[in-house]
Each structure stands twice: as structure tokens, then as C-alpha cells.
């Protein structure tokens, strides 16, 4: 999944659960579960093989996507009386994607390569995601569901 659905899912978990450790674990697990759903992804290419320009565009997409999620959270959480756990959940839920960016700078780091393998094993493969539209719809549905739970 891209970053904003992960942020929303994590925030929903943080809002509904009043135990920091439980939020940590559930938000972390939610990342890998959400990645199992058919979803749209920008930068389907391996980050190590991108040209400079492709990498730059990729970083812009990550930044815009993260900003969208953060703005949505600001808007959604302003009605909530207690939101620190929601912010924590959002952060933890999005976190597993970020070590992958380091591969650009340390393409041979063993722990990063094994992590990438683990992360993409959890990922639904692009060729299995039959239709791009379906993938985009399921991602939007996840976001809508998370927003519904946040506002509940």
C-alpha cells in the first residue's frame, strides 16, 4: 500500500485501543496485512535500479502521499479528545516501508536486502493484482473504512 492508507489504519488502531504496546504490535501487523490486499503502488521498479530522475519522482510521490495522509489525520483527529496514541499508531503503521528507502544508498546492506525480501514476500505481487482499477478501489475502500472507524 502507499503511505496514507497505512497512516489512517494505524490512527484508527491508536484511537480505539488504550494500550501503547498493543497499539505498537497491532499497527505493525496491520502494515503487513494491508500490504496483502490488492493495492496500487507507485514505483513498481526496484529502488536500486531506478535512474536518478525516477528516484526523484518516487521521493516526490512518497512525500505527497505522506503529506496527504498527515493532512487527513489533522482533519480527522481535531474532533478527538485524545489523539497521541492515534499519532503513534499512524507512525508505527507506516514505518515498515521506510527502511526500504535506505536501499538506494546502501544497495548491498545484507539486513536491508533480507528485510526487502521479507517485505515483498508479504506483498501481493503486481501480476497477481489482476486489474489496476480493482487495486485502486480496494486501497480507497481501506482508507474509507479506516476513516469510518476514526470517526466512529
Binding site for Zn ion (CB under 5 A): 35, 97
Q: Cα torsion for 4, 126, 115, 67, to the nearest 10°? A: -20
The smaller minimum CB distance to Zn ion, of residues 55 and 97, is found at: 97
The smaller minimum CB distance to Zn ion, of residues 70 and 101, is found at: 101
CA 122 – CA 107 distance, rounded (Å): 21
Query: Least distance from C-beta 35 to Zn ion, angstroms?
Result: 4
Query: Least distance from C-beta 29 to Zn ion, angstroms?
Result: 12
Query: Least distance from C-beta 3 to Zn ion, angstroms?
Result: 9
Q: Which residues contact 32 (CB under 8 A, 6 or more apart)?
A: 96, 119, 122
User: Shortest CA distance to 27 belongs to which of 99, 86, 105?
Assistant: 86
The smaller minimum CB distance to Zn ion, of residues 35 and 139, is found at: 35
Amino acid at each position: 500500500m502507499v503511505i496514507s492508507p497505512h497512516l489512517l489504519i494505524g490512527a484508527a488502531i491508536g484511537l480505539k485501543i488504550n494500550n501503547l504496546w498493543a497499539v505498537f504490535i497491532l499497527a505493525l501487523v496491520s502494515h503487513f496485512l494491508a500490504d496483502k490486499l490488492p493495492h496500487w503502488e507507485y514505483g513498481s521498479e526496484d529502488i536500486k535500479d531506478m535512474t536518478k530522475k525516477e528516484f526523484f519522482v518516487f521521493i516526490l510521490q512518497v512525500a505527497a502521499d505522506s503529506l496527504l495522509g498527515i493532512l487527513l489525520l489533522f482533519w480527522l483527529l481535531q474532533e478527538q479528545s485524545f489523539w497521541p496514541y492515534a499519532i503513534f499508531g499512524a507512525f508505527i503503521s507506516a514505518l515498515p516501508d521506510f527502511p526500504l528507502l535506505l536501499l538506494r544508498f546502501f544497495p548491498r546492506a545484507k539486513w536491508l536486502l533480507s528485510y526487502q525480501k521479507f517485505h515483498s514476500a508479504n506483498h501481493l505481487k503486481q501480476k497477481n493484482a489482476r486489474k489496476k482499477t480493482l487495486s485502486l478501489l480496494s486501497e480507497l475502500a481501506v482508507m474509507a473504512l479506516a476513516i469510518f472507524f476514526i470517526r466512529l
